[in-house]
Amino acid sequence: MVEARLLDDQERMAGMRQQDAALGLARRLPSLVVAAKEIASSVMHGVHGRRQAGVGETFWQFRPFVAGESITRVDWRRSARDDRFYVREREWESAHTVWLWMDRSPSMAFVSALALQSKIDRGLVLGLAAADLLVRGGERVGLLGLTRPLAARAIIERFAEVIYTQERKGGGDSAELPPAGALAPRTGAVLIS
């Protein structure tokens, strides 16, 4: 048999505070998303290589032709200057995975008398803008402890929705530190606190 009871005043107030915090975040998120997009659109980015031969667009090196390779790989201009055949190799370029963690603990609610935004709002703007920049640069980005790495166009909206959903469930990230765990090779983390 299911037993029901009424919440006392203290429990009811705690639930109302969580709901108010979630609604406050929902009111602020659209402007934070716009600010993040403005910042991301004003930055240029480039491609990074792995410092070894592989698939990519950037010239890496010439190396001597080896018997058994396809003749279509020979660079005829370079080979014409010598007695040997040479193959043009390109640098291996691939995406990295970057994990973001934005501190949303109570300490981030601080607002200076001179500031227009709280630390948490500024941190969310910077984190969402970084996610957009990284995705436009060809990287995969994930929210540490919340999502898997993504390379989606609407990354800002997706992450804002994940953050709002977590806040709405009352599971706001009140942790002072990011989740513990080892990062995989060729993976980075950006911590905003």
Each residue's pLDDT tens digit, 151-180: 888 888 888 888 888 887 766 556 677 778
Q: How far apart are CA 48 and CA 102, in angstroms?
A: 25
Specify the amino acid at residue 40. A
Residue 103 CA, distance from chain mean position: 14
Residue 51 has a pLDDT of 55
Q: How confident is the model at residue 32 (pLDDT cuts 50, 70, 90)?
A: confident
* pLDDT tops 70 at residue 52: no
CA distance 100 to 121: 15
**For position 184, what pLDDT does the model report?**
81
In eight-state DSSP terms, residue 183 is P
Predicted confidence at residue 122, as pLDDT, reads: 86
User: Model-level pTM greater than 0.75?
Assistant: no
Q: What percent of the chain has pLDDT over 90?
A: 1
Pairwise pLDDT comparison (51 vs 9), residue with the higher score: 9
User: Is residue 143 pLDDT above 70, yes or no?
Assistant: yes
Q: Does 25 have pLDDT greater than 60? A: yes
- 84, 175 in Cβ contact below 8 A? no
| Closest-CA residue to 161 (of 185, 117, 131, 184) | 131
CA dihedral 71, 75, 76, 78 (to 10 degrees): -140
Say if CB 93 and CB 57 are below 8 A apart. Answer: yes
- Average pLDDT of the chain is 77
Digit-coded pLDDT (tens) for 74-129: 888 888 888 888 888 876 656 778 889 888 888 887 888 887 778 888 888 888 88
Going by their DSSP bridges, the two strands 187-192 and 97-102 should be labelled as: parallel
pLDDT interval class at 34 (50, 70, 90): confident
